[in-house]
Amino acid sequence: MRQDTAMVLNNSHGIIAHCIFLERNMILPIYTYGNPVLRKEAQDIDASYPELQTLIANMYETLKESDGIGLAAPQIGLDIRLVIIDLDVLSEDLPEYKDYRHAFINPYILEYDEDSKKETMEEGCLSLPGIHESVTRPTRIHVKYLDENFQEHDEWVEGYLARVMQHEFDHLGGKMFIDRISPMRRQLIRGKLKNLLLGKFRCAYRTRLPRK
C-alpha cells in the first residue's frame, strides 16, 4: 500500500507517529521554508517507531534525488529526531568520506570545542532552494546518537562532517542556517524568503509549500 498523505499511529508510549512511508523507494517531497514543522522541536523516538527502516531507506532515496548530502526528518514533515548524511558523493574531493552513509537517531550535540578554530563556509539547504549564505561554525563537536541498530555512540567529530552534523542537527531544534547569519544578511535575503513562501522558485526536486 502506498500513500502520500500521513497516517497517524499511536505507539506503545502513547506518542503520535506520522507514518507516510509504507513502501520503499518513495521519493518524498521536501518541506520548504514557512512550513511550521521546520520550526518545531523534534521528539526522540525508540525502536517501536513504525516503519523506521523503510523511512530511513526512503530518506536516502529522497536525498539522492535531491542531490543533497544531508536530510533531517522535519524536512520531510516529521518532527522526530532522525537525520541521514551521505558524504560519499564528495569522496572524489574528500576521499576520507568514501562510502560514508549514516543514519543518526536521537542525535544531540553535547558540547563544542571552544579551543578549535571556527570556519566560515557557504551553506545551502534543500528547504531553502536558491539561498546560499556564509555560516561560521566550530570545527570540532562532541555528539551522541543511536545508529540504525539503536546502538549508542558518544564521540568527537571534526572537519566537514562536524559542519554537516551541526547544519542537520539544527533542524531538530527548529533552526535553519539562515538563523546563524547576520541581521544585515537576513535583511538582504528577505525578498528571496518571501518568494519561497509564495512558491516563486525553481528546483529539480519535489517540494511541499506551506499551507496558506
Secondary structure (DSSP) of 139-202: SEEEEEEE-TT--EEEEEEETHHHHHHHHHHHHHTT--GGGGS-HHHHHHTHHHHHHHHHT---
Q: For this structure, is 148 an active site residue? A: no
Looking at residue 14, the DSSP 8-state letter turns out to be: S
Residues 110, 155, 132: CA angle, nearest 5 degrees: 65
Looking at residue 109, the DSSP 8-state letter turns out to be: E
Which residue among the candidates 51, 123, 133, 168 is catalytic per the annotation? 168
Dist CA 174 CA 36 (whole Å): 9
Dist CA 45 CA 81 (whole Å): 7
Q: Active-site residue numbers?
A: 168
